[in-house]
Homo-oligomer: A and B are copies of this chain.
């Protein structure tokens, strides 16, 4: 076993992602110390699952750490980021796992040089949230996007990259702007569409009507079970990209609505759509 790139890892927010990172670190480097910060009941669960060695009720009692992972909803991560300089005495690499990157990269510019921030976003998830669904294998062969900017120290990027690859992730780098633009389409828009669809269908037909649904509605709305509080922050911190994507989807639905009696238009949409669907990665 090679020495851990970080000896003491502080994870703030032990949900599905934070909990899975904790479990993966504990398995990969038994000598590394994982310090968890969350609500008391979540910390109890994390201890029981063997995800953390040390628990802390707040930032200040976290003690010395050389890697900080912000794993709460985006706006909470940004608030925590602002409190890090007062809470951590020494040097540390700081990263996050949030679904939007521009807002936190901007907030990180105010950090002192001893706290080297590199934004991150693992493209991994499950239908269900919370540490009870966490797994040390969650990141295996999944992309983990890093969004360093001119303020990110090269050595911090390299160390974090080594750390994430050792957890099984396939790291890649892009700008925060490009990240937020593409995820608005491939992640945030599908989430909003699934939630809107499930809401209007349920309201329209009720429990009785839902009995006539099949695997189609079930698959299309799987995301509708996602926790709301994570997504409100995503919407707020990626407003203009998400608004543009929603506008385009609304236009397309209006075009379909106008074309219900025009088979060639409907076919055009279906065929373009089926071609893209075949090209989705496995």
Contact = CB atoms under 8 A, between A and B. Distances in A.
A195 B189 CA distance: 13
Contact of A281 (B193, B211, B275): B211
Give this chain's copy count: 2
Interface stretch (A26-34, A59-67, A241-249): A241-249
A158 interface: no
Interface string A211-225: 111111111111111
Contacts of A86: none
Interface stretch (A7-15, A41-49, A197-205): A197-205
Contact of A256 (B185, B246, B279): B246
Majority secondary structure of chain A interface residues (helix, strand, loop or mixed): helix
B267 A243 contact: no
A100 to B, nearest CB: 12
Contact of A249 (B125, B187, B197, B274): B197
A16 to B, nearest CB: 13
A252 B275 CA distance: 28
A193, A211, A248, A259, most chain B CB atoms within 10 A? A193
Contact of A263 (B218, B232, B243, B280): B232
A97 B93 CA distance: 61
Interface in A62-92: none
A135 interface: no
A274 to B, nearest CB: 5
A192 interface: yes
A141 to B, nearest CB: 12
17 contacts: A182-B212, A190-B217, A192-B256, A193-B253, A196-B252, A198-B274, A199-B276, A200-B252, A203-B272, A204-B248, A226-B270, A227-B270, A228-B274, A236-B263, A246-B256, A249-B253, A250-B250
